[in-house]
Amino acid sequence: QLQLVESGGGSVKAGGSLRLSCVASGYTLSYYAMGWFRQVPGKEREFVAAITRSAGSTRHADSVKGRFIISRDNAKNTVYLQMNSLKPEDTAVYYCAADRRRPAVTTSSDWAYDYWGQGTQVTVSS
């Protein structure tokens, strides 16, 4: 079974940058489309970005477009989320997720993803 572990979260000031990593084990990540989501307590999980298995296509939520970039290195079984120009409203727990059924599609719906990591906290102060 695929297991996902996120890292790279932390506390930064507004305008700062962080790079999140999601490392997969148990199976080859190249078979999956991947996504990043975030969630604030009391709110629904929100789509952030997605990337197809070959990295041929990416999608970013309007709220992060131009600031965040999703990428992947299949040789390292790792997906990244580069976050620049961070804002306080980016504060959340960030999760990576894997979609095995639609590897060539960038899906923004969380129900489409089969495997999830445990999350990493990102806190942005003003």
pLDDT digits (tens, 9 = 90+) for 9-51: 999 999 999 999 999 999 999 999 999 999 999 999 999 999 9
Instruction: Check: CB of residue 48 under 8 Å from CB of residue 34.
Output: no
C-alpha distances (whole Å) from 124 to each of 18, 60, 83, 102 are 10, 20, 11, 33
Has residue 1 got a pLDDT over 90?
Answer: no
- Neighbouring C-beta atoms of residue 60, cutoff 10 Å: 21
**Over the range 100-123, which residues count as b (16 or more CB within 10 Å of their CB) and which as e?**
eeeeeebbeebebbebbbebbebe
Has residue 111 got a pLDDT over 90?
Answer: yes
Q: How far, in Å, CA of 12 to CA of 121, rounded? A: 11
pLDDT level of residue 113 (50, 70, 90 thresholds):
very high
Looking at the chain, how many residues does it have?
Answer: 126
Predicted pLDDT at 25? 93
Predicted pLDDT at 55? 87
Bridge partner list, 93: 39, 121
Instruction: Check: CB of residue 79 under 8 Å from CB of residue 99.
Output: no
Predicted pLDDT at 86? 98
Q: What is the pLDDT of residues 35-94, one digit of tens each?
A: 999 999 999 999 999 999 998 899 999 999 999 999 999 999 999 999 999 999 999 999
